[in-house]
């Protein structure tokens, strides 16, 4: 089988302005990121995903772009970007970037021209003259957004905005807009990126305009058009869709031959992982996985535990959502948009290392590519004093020194304050202390990443959920490649330690090894494996056949 790099990738998501400040002005930048590359390589990261770093008024953490072909002056310039790219490549790391083309900033020159009725640009956006009435039900950010149409005095018309009102939607149905998008893609591909995370993919391809809610219509052919363009420019670049979609929509995004999105970020399994922890049961995970369709052979899932946005619980039922709110975000200030939790993982889990590792083990063993949000590898906490989702976007905690080692600037001029109180203060939670502790989250994750890379069956194999003697407590699955190599991962979703018998699906295996420790081979009798799993513990095993001795 052809080598598909993205299937064995470990993606690490970085927000440049909060990762590392290279010039001491209080804002992270490309020089700082470049200095941190050895750290990322050491962790085992193979692909860096950069959140938007383009010139922007920065009202939505850079997702409001005013120049797609630029680097935000606070972060450096194109030369710094190129220097970062080549050093990442020297260390064998690829880079993917955010492609935010559902909307621009209202400060983008296209929008400024459109408002002035410039015939070239007016049609880049979506307008209506009549009063739209109440459209609050269509808003993506309930409570922060009153509707999806905003009146513009210059244009004397309403413009459509699925997100914040300062983010006018691009009219992606307009071929001229699609040409602009290709120009943006071509530019960054020429600078060496390996692909794009397609922001808000369902909205990019949705019908936009009056009665958008009554005419739900998606143009999946745009996705194909972008993929075609990508393939033509570079053979192995990828498109990763940010698409929080129902299971019955999934194949539309991949395309029946895998001709659309290379990967789709799995927003469906994600909340079920949290529900499983809250209910101490494997059932939600098994149920969610059962609802996923078989995806094309060239396609792949991307999995995450937490990301830069809220933990979105909208795919759960009302009562399941309540269970998760109670377990992980009981205070109103922890909740957002009536559907989510604006916290980082470690504090949601009361700082428990076992639970954090259990969740990472799940996303490292269910076939798909894991994505880590920066700071997760050390269990950073959030700052609920920050507005909306900025709570989970505080500076990376490198050391116990001033500003967490993020910047040498005066603390008052940091892009965002560092977390300096409580159990997750940078004085306690930082890269430096965890490096020295062999049992730290950082060191566990590094081992987990290394092991996963050594056993590519986890990402490329076909998986099956296994029968066990403890179906209400243990989630066990196998991944097997076409040569018969097989691995197993077993997860204990409960608080007590458990002895379990795992049933194998065939009789040819005669012994197994534990992937995380030095225990000798163990024999397999009667196509069954006896395991003991500590509370919330997990095991990764490699099965062997006689001939492989």
Determine how many CB atoms are found less than 10 A away from the CB of residue 467. 13
Residues 214-273 that bind ligand TEU (CB under 6 A): 242, 244
Among 53, 121, 163, 374, binds ligand TEU (CB under 6 A): 163
DSSP assignment of 481-501:
-TTS-EEEEEEE-SSS-EEEE
Residues 357-376 as x/- pattern, contact with ligand TEU by CB under 6 A? --------------------
* Binding range to Ca ion, per CB under 5 A, among 20-28, 105-113, 146-154, 255-263: 20-28
Catalytic residue among 15, 21, 106, 199: 199
The item of ligand TEU, Ca ion, none sharing an interface with residue 312, based on CB under 5 to 8 Å by kind, is: ligand TEU
- Of 15, 17, 60, 457, which one interacts with ligand TEU (CB under 6 A)? 60
Q: 281, 301, 289, 305: which is closest to 458 by C-alpha?
A: 301
**Contacts (Cβ under 8 Å, ≥6 apart) of 476:** 465, 466, 468, 488, 489, 490, 491, 500, 502
Which listed option, Ca ion, ligand TEU, none, makes contact with residue 310 (CB within 5 to 8 Å by class)? ligand TEU
Asked if residues 397 and 406 have their Cβ atoms less than 8 Å apart, the reply is: yes
Q: Which two tokens stand for residue 460?
A: 């490329």
Q: For ligand TEU, which stretch binds (CB under 6 A), given 19-27, 298-306, 309-317, 443-451?
A: 309-317
90 tagged catalytic: no
CA distance 419 to 383: 6
Q: Kindly state whether residue 396 participates in binding Ca ion, applying the rule CB under 5 A.
A: no
Using rule CB under 5 A, residue 457 touches Ca ion: no
Site for ligand TEU in 180-219 (CB under 6 A): 199-200
Q: Is 96 in the site for ligand TEU (CB under 6 A)?
A: no
According to the binding rule CB under 5 A, does residue 77 interact with Ca ion?
no
Q: How near is the Cβ of 17 to Ca ion at its closest, in Å?
A: 8
Among 63, 121, 127, 512, binds ligand TEU (CB under 6 A): 63
User: Is there binding between residue 100 and ligand TEU (CB under 6 A)?
Assistant: yes
Segment near ligand TEU (CB under 6 A); pick from 72-80, 305-313, 414-422, 511-519: 305-313
Closest CA to 276 of 309, 305, 249, 307: 305
Cβ neighbours of residue 422 under 8 Å, at least 6 residues apart?
381
Cα separation of 232 and 224, whole Å? 12
Please report, to the nearest 10 degrees, the dihedral formed by the alpha carbons of residues 344, 345, 347, 349 taken in order. Answer: 160
Confirm or reject binding of residue 288 to ligand TEU (CB under 6 A). Answer: no
**Residue choice 8, 25, 267, 516 for contact with Ca ion (CB under 5 A):** 25
Q: How far is the CB of 375 from Ca ion (least distance, A)?
A: 18
Active site residue 242: yes
Task: Please tell me whether residue 312 binds ligand TEU under the rule CB under 6 A.
Answer: yes
What is the chain's alpha carbon radius of gyration, rounded to the nearest angstrom?
A: 24
- SS in 3 state form for 465-482? ECCECCCCCEEEEEEECC
| 23 contributes a contact to Ca ion by CB under 5 A | yes
Three-point CA angle 536, 541, 545, nearest 5°: 155
- Cβ-closest residue to ligand TEU? 63
Question: What does the block give as tokens for 81?
Answer: 């970007």
DSSP output for 143-189: TTB--SEEEETTTTEEEE-SS-TTSPBB-TTSHHHHHHHHHHHHHHH
Q: Which of 21, 180, 242, 310 is catalytic?
A: 242
Q: Which residues bind Ca ion (CB under 5 A)?
A: 21, 23, 25, 27, 29
Q: Which residues bind ligand TEU (CB under 6 A)?
A: 60-61, 63, 100, 140, 163, 199-200, 242, 244, 309-310, 312
Any idea which residues carry the catalytic annotation? Answer: 199, 242
């Amino acid at each position: 089988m052809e080598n598909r790099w993205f299937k064995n990738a470990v993606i690490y998501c970085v927000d440049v302005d909060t990762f590392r400040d290279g010039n001491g002005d209080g804002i992270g930048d490309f020089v700082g990121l470049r200095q941190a590359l050895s750290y990322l390589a050491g962790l085992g990261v193979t692909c860096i995903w950069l959140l938007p770093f383009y010139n922007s008024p920065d009202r939505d953490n850079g997702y409001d772009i005013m120049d797609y072909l630029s680097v935000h002056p606070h972060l450096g310039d194109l030369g710094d970007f190129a220097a970062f790219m080549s050093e990442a490549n020297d260390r064998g790391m690829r880079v993917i970037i955010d492609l935010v083309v559902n909307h621009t900033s209202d400060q983008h020159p296209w929008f400024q021209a459109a408002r002035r009725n410039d015939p070239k640009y007016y049609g880049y956006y979506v307008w209506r003259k009549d009063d739209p009435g109440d459209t609050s039900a269509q808003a993506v950010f309930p409570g922060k957004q009153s509707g999806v149409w905003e009146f513009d005095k210059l244009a004397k018309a309403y413009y459509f905005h699925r997100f914040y009102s300062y983010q006018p939607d691009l009219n992606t149905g307009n071929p001229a807009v699609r040409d602009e998008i290709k120009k943006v893609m071509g530019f960054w591909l020429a600078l060496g990126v390996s692909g794009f995370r397609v922001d808000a993919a369902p909205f990019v391809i949705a019908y936009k305009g009056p009665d958008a809610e009554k005419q739900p219509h998606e143009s999946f052919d745009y996705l194909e058009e972008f993929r075609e363009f990508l393939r033509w420019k570079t053979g192995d670049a990828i498109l990763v869709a940010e698409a929080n979609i129902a299971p019955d929509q999934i194949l539309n995004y991949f395309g029946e031959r895998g001709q659309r999105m290379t990967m789709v970020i799995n927003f469906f399994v994600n909340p079920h992982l949290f529900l499983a922890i809250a209910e101490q049961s494997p059932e939600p995970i098994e149920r969610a996985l059962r609802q996923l369709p078989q995806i094309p052979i060239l396609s792949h899932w991307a999995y995450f535990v937490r990301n830069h946005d809220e933990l979105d619980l909208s795919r759960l039922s009302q009562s399941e959502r309540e269970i998760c709110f109670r377990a992980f975000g009981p205070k109103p200030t922890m909740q957002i948009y009536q559907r989510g939790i604006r916290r980082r993982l470690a504090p949601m889990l009361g700082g428990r290392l076992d639970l954090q590792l259990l969740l990472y083990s799940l996303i490292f063993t269910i076939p798909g590519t894991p994505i880590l949000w920066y700071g997760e590898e050390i269990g950073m906490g959030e700052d609920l004093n920050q507005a909306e989702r900025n709570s989970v976007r505080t500076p990376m905690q490198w050391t116990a020194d001033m500003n967490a080692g993020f910047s040498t600037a005066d603390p008052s001029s940091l892009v965002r304050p560092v977390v300096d109180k409580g159990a997750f203060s940078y004085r306690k939670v930082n890269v430096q202390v965890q490096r020295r502790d062999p049992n730290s989250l950082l060191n566990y994750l590094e081992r987990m990443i290394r092991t996963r890379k050594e056993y590519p069956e986890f990402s490329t194999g076909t998986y099956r959920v296994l029968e066990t003697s403890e179906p209400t407590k243990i989630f066990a699955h196998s991944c097997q490649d076409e040569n018969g190599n097989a691995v197993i991962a077993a997860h204990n979703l409960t608080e007590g330690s458990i002895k379990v018998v795992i049933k194998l699906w065939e009789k040819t295996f005669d012994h197994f090894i534990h992937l995380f420790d030095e225990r000798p081979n163990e024999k397999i009798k009667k196509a069954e494996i006896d395991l003991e799993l500590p509370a919330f513990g997990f095991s990764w095993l490699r099965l062997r056949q006689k001939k492989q001795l």
